[in-house]
Amino acid sequence: MDAYHVAKKAVPYWDDEKKALVKPEGGKKNGVKFELFIFDAFPHIKEGGFGLMEVSREEEFAPIKNKNEPNQVDTPDTARDLISNLH
């Protein structure tokens, strides 16, 4: 596989001295997430072993990447809204 995609994230952590979960202030990024995506596999697929369809994003895509928070996108609530609006 190709190299990982690096995403810097604000990651809550446990402070054993305070015995509490600490959330980075102001969304300060203190962690690194290594990601692979489906398209990273495309160059490794043998001829004839893969199919692709182009579809309407509004009808086929409702991602959930984040938890429900005000002004956040790609949450369970926004995915539910997208599906509800479709039907």
Same domain flag for 75 and 43: no
79 is in which domain, residue-wise? Answer: 53-87
Report the sign of the C-alpha dihedral through residues 33, 39, 40, 41, in that order: positive
With a threshold of 0.85, does the pTM exceed it? Answer: no
Tally the domains of the chain: 2
Same domain flag for 61 and 25: no
Burial readout 15-52 (b: 16 or more C-beta within 10 A, e: otherwise): eeeeeeeeeeeeeeeeeeeeeeeeeeeeeeeeeeeeee
pLDDT at 28: 94
Instruction: Render pLDDT for 29-87 as a digit per residue (tens, 0 to 9).
Output: 999 999 988 888 888 888 877 777 898 888 888 999 899 999 999 999 999 999 999 88
Same domain flag for 34 and 66: no
| 1 has pLDDT over 60 | no
Same domain flag for 44 and 57: no
The mean per-residue pLDDT over the stretch 11-37 comes to 93
Same domain flag for 36 and 16: yes
Pairing of strands 13-15, 5-9: unpaired
pLDDT at 86: 86
- Rounded-to-10 torsion of CA 9, 15, 21, 22: -50
